[in-house]
Structure 1
Amino acid sequence: MHKPIRKVAVLGAGVMGSGIAAHLANAGVPSLLLDIVPKFTPEDEKAGLKPEDRAFRNKLALQGLENIKKSKPALIYSQRFLPLIEVGNFEDDWARLSECDWIVEAVVERLDIKQQLFARVEQVWRPGVIVSSNTSGLPIRKMVEGRSPEFRKHFLVTHFFNPVRYMRLLEIVAGEDTDPEVVRTMADFGRFRLGKGIVYGKDTPNFVGNRIGVYALMATLHAMIEMDYQVDEVDAITGPAMGHPKSASFGTVDLVGLDTTMAVAEVMFEEFREPRYAPPPLLKRMVMAGRLGRKSGRGFYDYSNGSTAR
């Protein structure tokens, strides 16, 4: 029997990391939400901050906590649960990972950054602690290259979907070296503590959910361009009319993030060279322009001032 999970470290305070921390709080599980120390800017100086101030050094994690407070729909059951989320940063609080029973990574979807992060994690890792990645499709065998056999034994993928509170699916993917007891522990924790429905995937590109979903989204986007449809016309077809959520196709992409969607599609295209997986130039231009969806205020729809106009 594996050790119970009583405290969790969440690495990365962006959309997914803050969502995971919020849902852990919903389940009464305390977490340590960490992110990088940002670069000090003139704006920080104008705000009266100094490079050594904790308020500055924890800036990104504090922003993640603020996003939890303001999220609509609400990510957290009650504001009373917020004290269960403690914020920090990758420099000052890194050694505190040893306090936790599960360390879950939710940083940018880049293999090199994840590899560097897990190398750092192992330096303070306490044997027996479960380590997982929230990657939507990067190979486990590549993420744990250079890690010790014992570390790889306790490593797996726990892929939550956005928004974490409302999306019931949790994909669990074991690597070649993952201890089956670790898989059972995380499945039980996800099912009975977090209320998730568990789907087991294999260590193949984009696992299960994104392998199906991204194909559908890319096919829809290509068809829209080829047939000269408008975004709202497509969403009128692919939403509730088809038994799908009202976010339909492009509202869903905005929720997930255009950059994340493009990254997942590129992984699939590189693996299979299937043209329908290739992100079209329109998507690439939008990402380069910073139109990343809800998190940037604009994507396929405009969310400024709380609106959802095209």
Structure 2
Amino acid sequence: MTEPVPPLSELLASARVVALPLATRFRGVDVREAVVFEGPEGWTEFSPFAEYGDEEAATWLAAAIDFGWTPQPAPVRTEIPVNATVPAVAAASVPAVLARFDGCRTAKVKVAEPGQTLADDVARVRAVREAMGPEGRIRIDANAAWNLDEAEHAIHALAEFDLEYVEQPCASIDELAELRRRVTYMGVPIAADESVRKAEDPLAVARAGAADLLVVKAQPLGGVRRALAIVAESGLPAVVSSALDTSIGLAMGVTLAAALPELEFDCGLGTASLFTADIVNPPLTPRGGVLPVGRATPDAGALDSLAAADDRRDWWLDRLARCHALLGARE
């Protein structure tokens, strides 16, 4: 945090814990929980995934406080092109998923799902290519699930679908660097996500020459300004993505994408289309493949109707308090 951490009472005064249902299971969940609260600059979100420890989650809270209490960098564009996100669904379900993303010319396809096979991935990506046609752009995301040889084999199997890039195929920077060397002749770029947002040194992957581009997310990196600094120092192109945020958290990502000097790739900020309900009305979903730049404000009725159960509310507010204490100790 570059500014003093506001008192916990100031965060709790407006804090609401919400539970948003998903149309398709994603990242192992059917419901996405989050805390939203209002600062002097507007509404903001704290939504680290449930399995993350407090030290990691505290960085997400730093981002939320920065967005709610500090003026943000000026935008250099008024709308953000975004991609569709295809969970690890059966190939037959692909058209229905893509139909939720109005006008998107790019799709990010989840692969390497536990319990599935490479044949499942090939069938899913083939279905996306058939649905989007030859001009559609397809990127895949393995969430670091492959080892080096598995990744090389999978890229060979999927390269026929004209991949825009492969996101985090392997876990370690050394593996990414070696894989990048092995697949250079195929012209398939390597993108780093977890090697940026979950790393003690988010710039190590760039220094190692282990990626062609970075995937950056505002909450895990501690806020818009810190993410901008990481991209600038890396010298690599960046894709701004979400962490399955509500529309309020997505507005933070949109703010980041809007402030980047260059935006070569469609951004992964269309994920509100994966929800069947959201706390913003209308939700921040793509129209004609783009999102407008600006903050989002929750609908009072939606905050009530999508409120988490009492035990989940208490769990999240206790977590918020612990992370707030950690931020205070960092000052």
Q: TM-score, normalised by structure 2?
A: 0.32
More strand by share: 2
Structure with bigger RCO (C-alpha 8 Å, 6+ apart):
2
More helix by share: 1
